[in-house]
Amino acid sequence: MAMSLARSIIGIALGVMLFAGAGLAVEPAEVEKFVKARIDIGEMMTSYFQGGERFKEGQRPSPEQMKEMGADIHAKLGKLLAKYDLTVEEYRKRSPEVFADDSAVKSYLNEHQDLKARYEALPLDRMGRGGSTGRGY
């Protein structure tokens, strides 16, 4: 009796874990949306800071300038993400989960070589890929 109860509990627990694991897979439409958004964000951020013309060589922005830049970037991100029906907060919350499914991201990019080239051209250290620096856009 105790052995069959233990087997039943183990069977149920394994079933729950398998079912929960199946629910963690990211939908292809989500992968597409987040990959395209990340590409657009990366390209926007690259052009935003292109050439460093905002400040003199070696000069750091003042705290007020940093605050203004942050607000400007946030507004630009909001507009950019709106075309994907996302807010900045939603993107920041969901993107780690979506990009954690590396095989789904790679599969999608392999099917879309034009996007793959743009994705791979993004600065790795600031896009949440290849390191923990940056804001993980």
Render pLDDT for 87-124 as a digit per residue (tens, 0 to 9): 999 999 999 999 999 999 999 999 999 999 999 998 86
Residue pLDDT, tens place only, 35-69: 999 999 999 988 887 765 555 566 788 889 889 98
Does the pTM exceed 0.85? no
Alpha-carbon distance values, 113 to 24, 107, 116, 127, 135 (Å): 26, 11, 5, 19, 26
Task: Kindly state the average pLDDT of the residues 23-35.
Answer: 85
Question: Could you tell me the end-to-end alpha-carbon distance of the chain, in angstroms, rounded to an integer?
Answer: 54
The arithmetic mean of pLDDT across residues 76-92, rounded, is: 95
Residue 53 vs residue 130, higher pLDDT: 53
What residue segments make up the domains of the chain, in order of their start?
Answer: 27-126
Structure tokens at 77: 């991100």
**CB neighbour list of residue 98: distance below 8 Å, 6 or more residues apart:** 26, 30, 31, 34, 105
The first and second tokens of residue 55, run together, are 């400040």
pLDDT tier at 7, thresholds 50, 70, 90? low
Per-residue CA distances from 58 to 25, 52, 53, 61 (Å): 45, 10, 11, 10
